[in-house]
A and B are shown apart, each in its own frame.
Chain A
């Protein structure tokens, strides 16, 4: 049984607002399954005395200067949103959480 199904990929694509064709869904489901399979093999060999790796490259302090760059602009930013209202992203009702 694959770790990730075609239905899962379609669901994730919808959450990420990425439109994918049937052919792309088929291809991506297969590829992601291979990747997840590879990752799960790492879990089999990781013992308790091996600290988890968070970064594969031995770099620190990658920083940028505090210089502004142009933003997208509200129109472009909102163009990709499923719904907008009053220059803002419109989102469904948030239930009993604040």
Chain B
């Protein structure tokens, strides 16, 4: 994990146990909405994908999308859940204009899937995250708040609502409290969401694009002093919408709550908002004011009773889990289990695989992604999958390194230029005139460096081979990193009579 570990976070987790809970919402990739035939395509003109049913107009009636049920059962089975043989939808009543019906059709005490688990691995240690329930509901519309300073609800004069998203099938996956993660609370949270995302993608039930909101996460967190048996008061941080943010939200809440507890204050049970720009949270509405949703069985929809044959057919069709696929990938490429964990948790395993498929060696592919580009992505505050450099570019740069056209240092300069949007690999090499220094150019640089550093050169002549390092460094500097450092060292030693 490349996020900077603050000593404060580690100090807190010496004294407190963090208890995590994760609620993940995933928009299913069905063609149509859950209860009507409107399209679910992302990015359409506002309110162009609505009908009397998803607008809640009087007289309209919902009919459930069978594919959405199949997808939900698939998710439940992949998470080792029991599938209910009979369950119902329920109305969740609330007064907020993001659902035109004034209620959301959801599931309440009869979820479709229950009692599963997902194993995640961090630094070679496996944590079992228990799944309490997986249920199906409809997504809500999107509100824009107008007139406030920041687009937020406070200070707004009115709001504008787009119901294209209202009614898109949404699966909610809820964990039981996750304990015993020690110093790895934030990493386990991130690893869980990463693993879940990979499973959902492999199942083909969602495009799992966090940046488009098709996978959204709420992070519950509480602290309890080491050795305590009673759970602390928890907060729920809403809409944490990237893998990095999941980790940041946990870290931030751990540190914030510990500061309050250390000062003898109470944690307020509340919903908090996550801010992508600062990695911090701020209070939303207080849970004490949370509504009574007056759930009751949805009278407009008949119960669901998935036949056992249907459930077994879906079970038989499940793809190989990502963990098994990764083990095979490790074996084929000589990676260790720790390599695989690191690549998985950094979100680069697919990038490494594509880079190897493109012809790079496994070592080079792993080195570029895990050893360099993940760090650059963090510095840039971007997801590593969204960088301007991809597997094709890394394959090309690696090939140029392998045939001696680029030194390691030049190769990184090329990567940085591609990252900065200057163009493709060969384009930036041409534009900057980057190439490995030829033998003549190298000898000329060495002669100049020896002349400028006579004292150091004498030490080498006198047999002090440790003094050659600074001379090689000076040659590298003089050639702008274009020299082959190993060859420069050989030539310097030769010139100073030490070869």
A14 touches B (CB below 8 Å)? no
Chain B's closest residue to A87 (CB) is B46
Partner of A74, one of B30, B46, B64: B46
B42 touches A (CB below 8 Å)? no
Inter-chain contact A98/B284, CB cutoff 8 Å: yes
Chain B positions 132-174 with a Cβ under 8 Å from a chain A Cβ = 143-146, 152-154, 156-163
Partner of B46, one of A55, A66, A68, A88: A88
Q: A88-B160, A93-B157, A98-B285 are in contact. Are A71 and B48 (CB under 8 A)?
A: yes
Inter-chain contact A18/B58, CB cutoff 8 Å: yes
Interface of chain B, main secondary structure = loop
Partner of A66, one of B30, B159, B305, B306: B30
With the chains together, A66 CA to B28 CA distance in Å? 12
Chain A 53-81 per-residue mask, 1 if CB under 8 angstroms from chain B, else 0 = 01101011111111111011110011010
Inter-chain contact A64/B48, CB cutoff 8 Å: no
With the chains together, A73 CA to B97 CA distance in Å? 20
With the chains together, A97 CA to B69 CA distance in Å? 32
Q: A54-B88, A62-B64, A94-B97 are in contact. Are A68 and B47 (CB under 8 A)?
A: no
B57 touches A (CB below 8 Å)? yes
CB A70 to nearest CB in B, in angstroms, measures 8
A92 touches B (CB below 8 Å)? yes
With the chains together, A62 CA to B62 CA distance in Å? 10
With the chains together, A74 CA to B47 CA distance in Å? 5
With the chains together, A69 CA to B306 CA distance in Å? 25
Inter-chain contact B63/A64, CB cutoff 8 Å: yes
B-side interface size class = 35 or more
Chain A's closest residue to B46 (CB) is A87
Inter-chain contact A60/B302, CB cutoff 8 Å: yes
Inter-chain contact B157/A89, CB cutoff 8 Å: no
Binding site for B on A (CB under 8 A): 16, 18, 52, 54-55, 57, 59-69, 71-74, 77-78, 80, 85-94, 96-98
Chain A's closest residue to B152 (CB) is A98
Chain B's closest residue to A86 (CB) is B160
If A68-B31, A74-B45 are given as contacts, then 14 extra A-B residue pairs at C-beta distance below 8 Å, sorted by A number, are A54-B88, A54-B297, A60-B302, A63-B69, A64-B64, A67-B37, A71-B38, A72-B55, A87-B45, A88-B162, A89-B47, A90-B159, A91-B97, A96-B154
Partner of B47, one of A66, A87, A92: A87
Chain A's closest residue to B40 (CB) is A68
Partner of A65, one of B66, B145, B156, B296: B66
With the chains together, A64 CA to B61 CA distance in Å? 13
Closest 10 CB pairs of A and B: A69-B37, A54-B297, A63-B66, A88-B160, A66-B67, A60-B305, A87-B46, A91-B97, A74-B47, A89-B161
CB A92 to nearest CB in B, in angstroms, measures 6
**Which A residues are in CB contact (< 8 Å) with B161?**
88-89, 91
Q: A66-B30, A71-B39, A74-B48 are in contact. Are A85 and B160 (CB under 8 A)?
A: yes
Chain B 63-103 per-residue mask, 1 if CB under 8 angstroms from chain A, else 0 = 11111110000000000000000101000000011001000
Q: A60-B305, A66-B32 are in contact. Are A72 and B45 (CB under 8 A)?
A: no
Chain B's closest residue to A72 (CB) is B51
Inter-chain contact B160/A68, CB cutoff 8 Å: no
Inter-chain contact B37/A68, CB cutoff 8 Å: yes
**Which A residues are in CB contact (< 8 Å) with B465?**
none
With the chains together, A59 CA to B301 CA distance in Å? 10
Partner of A86, one of B46, B49, B143, B152: B46
CB B300 to nearest CB in A, in angstroms, measures 10
Inter-chain contact A54/B299, CB cutoff 8 Å: yes
Inter-chain contact B96/A97, CB cutoff 8 Å: yes
CB A55 to nearest CB in B, in angstroms, measures 6
CB A10 to nearest CB in B, in angstroms, measures 16
Interface hub of A18, A57, A77 (most chain B Cβ within 10 A): A77
B304 touches A (CB below 8 Å)? yes
**Which A residues are in CB contact (< 8 Å) with B31?**
66-68
B52 touches A (CB below 8 Å)? yes
B50 touches A (CB below 8 Å)? yes
Chain A's closest residue to B36 (CB) is A69
23 residue pairs A–B, Cβ–Cβ below 8 Å: A18-B58, A54-B296, A54-B298, A55-B302, A59-B302, A60-B302, A60-B303, A61-B302, A63-B63, A63-B69, A66-B65, A66-B66, A67-B37, A69-B37, A71-B39, A77-B50, A77-B163, A91-B158, A93-B156, A94-B153, A96-B153, A98-B153, A98-B273
CB A35 to nearest CB in B, in angstroms, measures 14
Chain B 280-312 per-residue mask, 1 if CB under 8 angstroms from chain A, else 0 = 000011000000000011110111111100000
